[in-house]
Chains A and B, each alone.
Chain A
Amino acid sequence: GAVVSQHPSRVICKSGTSVKIECRSLDFQATTMFWYRQFPKQSLMLMATSNEGSKATYEQGVEKDKFLINHASLTLSTLTVTSAHPEDSSFYICSASQHGRSGGYTFGSGTRLTVV
C-alpha cells in the first residue's frame, strides 16, 4: 500500500533557529501534499496545501513566511519552520494524496517539534 515517510520524528531546537521537516511518498507520486498541525487533545488543523511545482495555499491565520513549504517533486515536500519560538512547539503531520485512490490520503508518522 501507499507509504509516506516523514522525518525527523522528533526534533528539539533553540528559539530563533529554523527547522526543516521532510515528507516523502515512497511508492506513489503524490499530486498534492498537505501539512497539518495537531495540539494535544485537538483535531488535526490543516496548515497548507501544496501541489508539485506550484506555490502552497495556506489556510487563514497561517503565516506563509514563517512556515515555508516546498513541493519540488511528486515525491517530496518540505516544511521549514523559520525563526522558531516556543509557541511553535507542536506535532506536525504531512499527508499525501493520490487522486483516484479510495482512501487516497496517506499520512506520515508525524514530527514532534519542541522549541526551547
Chain B
Amino acid sequence: EDQVTQSPEALRLQEGESSSLNCSYTVSGLRGLFWYRQDPGKGPEFLFTLYSAGEEKEKERLKATLTKKESFLHITAPKPEDSATYLCAGGSQGNLIFGKGTKLSVKP
C-alpha cells in the first residue's frame, strides 16, 4: 500500500536554530516527491518537486533532498515567518499521496 510518513509531527525551534524534517515514502511508480507549505485555514503552497534520488533544490532558507526511500526538508536559520505545517506528498498515477505533515513553530 502506498504510504507517506512524516516526522516529527511537531517541531519547535528557536529563531536561527537549523533543523530537518523527514518524509519517508513507499509509493509505487513514484512520479515526483512534492513539498508544500500550509498555513492555518489555507490551501497548500507549492515549494519543491524532486524527481530522482540525489536531487536537491533550494529556496531561501529551505533545501529539499531526496533518496530512494526518504526526503528531507532542511531549514537553515529559520525565522518566525517560517512557522507553518510542511506537507510531503508522493505523486503517483496522476494524484498525490500526502503525509500528515510536520507543524513547525519558530519562536523569536
Q: Does B72 contact A (CB under 8 A)?
A: no
Given A32-B94, A43-B101, A46-B95, is A110 in contact with B49 using a C-beta cutoff of 8 Å? no
In the assembled complex, the Cα of A49 lies from the Cα of B95 at a distance in Å of: 8
B17 interface hit (Cβ, 8 Å): no
How many A residues touch B, CB cutoff 8 Å? 24
Complex contact B44–A103 (CB within 8 A): no
Nearest-neighbor residue (CB-CB) of A49 within chain B: B95
Instruction: Across the interface, name the chain B residue whose C-beta is closest to A2.
Output: B46
Identity of the chain A residue whose Cβ is nearest the Cβ of B99 in the assembled complex: A43
B contact residues around A108 at 8 Å (CB): 43
A90 to B41, CA, bound (A): 11
- Given the known inter-chain contacts A34-B95, A43-B87, A102-B49, please indicate yes or no for A93 contacting B100, CB distance below 8 A: no
B43 and A6 form a contact (CB under 8 A): yes
Interface residues of B in 1-27 (CB under 8 A from A): 4
Q: B residues engaging A (CB < 8 A)?
A: 4, 34, 36, 41-46, 48-49, 87, 89, 91, 94-101
Q: Write the chain B residue with the least CB distance to A45.
A: B98
Pick the residue among B45, B48, B91 that contacts A107 (CB under 8 A): B45
Chain A contacts of B98 at CB under 8 A? Answer: 43-45
**Chain B neighbourhood of A97, CB < 8 A:** 94
- The answer to whether A29 has its CB under 8 Å from any CB of chain B is no
Judge if A98 is at the interface, Cβ distance under 8 Å. Answer: no
Answer whether residue A7 sits at the interface, using C-beta atoms and an 8 A cutoff. no
A46 contacts B96, C-beta separation under 8 Å: yes
Considering only residues 58-105 of chain A, those with a C-beta below 8 Å from chain B are: 91, 93, 95, 97, 102-103, 105
**A54 at interface, CB cutoff 8 A:** no
Chain A residues within an 8 Å CB radius of B96: 34, 44, 46, 95, 105
Cα–Cα distance between A105 and B32 once the two chains are bound (Å): 11
Inside 8 A of B36's CB, which chain A residues have their CB?
Answer: 107
